[in-house]
Amino acid sequence: MTEQELIKRALEARTFSYAPYSGFQVGAALLAGSGKLYTGCNIENAAFTPTNCAERTAFFKAVSDGEKEFLAIAIVGGKKEEGAKEFCAPCGVCRQVMMEFCDPEQFRIILGNENLEYQEYTLADLLPEGFGKGNLS
Ligand code: THU
């Protein structure tokens, strides 16, 4: 699956974003080791703290379907009225969730926009010296 295909799926997922409080809409498309694709959007809440980011929605959908290995994620985001023009990097909590299931040197994080342009990082780039299950073994 190409970067552009992943970004397109993330843009589709963003249309389902539930963000009535921030107005910031995010979509994600997560490619599992099985070859299956899992999408997610951010889901906000009137109590604010239960809000779930798009990336974690995609991860939790995938893990709850039995997936444990992941190759790449595409992320798109932006204010509702502005579209997805700027690159949107994952928050710290989402990076930590990625750390639980992904090889930091191999997992690819693709920050896309509505023109299908992108910047690509590894998880190690965005979460250097990350704390993971290896630290507990
Ligand atoms: N958000 C995401 O979904 N992913 C990110 O990586 C950054 C932030 C969401 C959470 C909240 O609904 C809105 O964007 C503003 O923070």
Quote the tokens at residue 10: 């993330």
List the chain pLDDT tens, one digit each, 137 residues.
Answer: 999 999 999 999 999 999 999 999 999 999 999 999 999 999 999 999 999 999 999 999 999 999 999 999 999 999 999 999 999 999 999 999 999 999 999 999 999 999 999 999 999 999 999 999 999 99
Ligand 1 in reach of 27 Cβ (< 6 A) = no
Q: What is the pLDDT of residue 5?
A: 98
Query: Quick check: 3 and 112 in contact, CB under 8 A?
Result: yes
Q: In testing the pocket of ligand 1, which one of 79, 87, 91, 110 has its CB within 8 Å of the most ligand atoms?
A: 91
pTM value is 0.98
Distance 8 CA to ligand 1 centre (A): 19
Ligand 1 in reach of 22 Cβ (< 6 A) = yes
CB atoms under 10 Å from CB of 27, counted, come to 29
- The 3-class SS string of 64-116 reads CCCCCCEEEEEEEEEEHHHCCCCCCCCCHHHHHHHHHHCCCCCCEEEEECCCC
pLDDT, one tens digit per residue, over 59-87 is 999 999 999 999 999 999 999 999 999 99
- Residues classed as catalytic: 55
Quote the tokens at residue 14: 């963003």
CA end-to-end span of the chain: 34
Q: What is the pLDDT of residue 76?
A: 98
- Closest-CA residue, ligand 1 atom 5, reads 90
Q: What is the pLDDT of residue 35?
A: 98
Q: What is the pLDDT of residue 23?
A: 98
3-state DSSP percent of the chain in helix, strand and coil, to 5: 30, 25, 40
